[in-house]
Amino acid sequence: MKTTVEMDEHLLERARRILGKDTIKDTVEESLRRVVRQRALEELADSLGTFDIDLTPEKLRRMRRKRTRNASR
């Protein structure tokens, strides 16, 4: 699909560099993909809701240390 759009050239160039794209088309398409993915993740998080867990910061640190030790074996 061909479309003519006026865009902020500096914003487009910044996005192109951040995304590592070579063309305007690739930059716009990747930007749109990321927006759609972000919304899907937000909707998923909202649908899951929240829940309480019995996990203190110290318990979490111990779990991470244990996991790190086991991963290096």
Please state the φ and ψ torsions of residue 34, each to the nearest 5 degrees.
Answer: -65, -35
For position 24, what pLDDT does the model report? 96
Residue 3 is assigned to a structural domain of this protein: no
Please state the rounded mean pLDDT for residues 48-59: 87
Listed range (7-11, 15-19, 23-27, 49-53) with the worst mean pLDDT: 49-53
Pairwise CA distance, residues 1 & 19, whole Å: 22
Q: Is the pLDDT of residue 71 over 80?
A: no
Asked, for residue 2, whether it belongs to a domain, the answer is: no
Q: Which residue range(s) make up the domain with 15? A: 9-71
Query: Per the structure, how many domains does the chain have?
Result: 1
4 occurs within a structural domain: no
Tell me whether residue 21 is in a domain.
yes
Q: Name the pLDDT band for 72 (thresholds 50, 70, 90).
A: low
> Model confidence at 20, in pLDDT bands (50, 70, 90)?
very high
Query: Minimal CA–CA distance to 31: which of 61, 5, 55, 49?
Result: 5
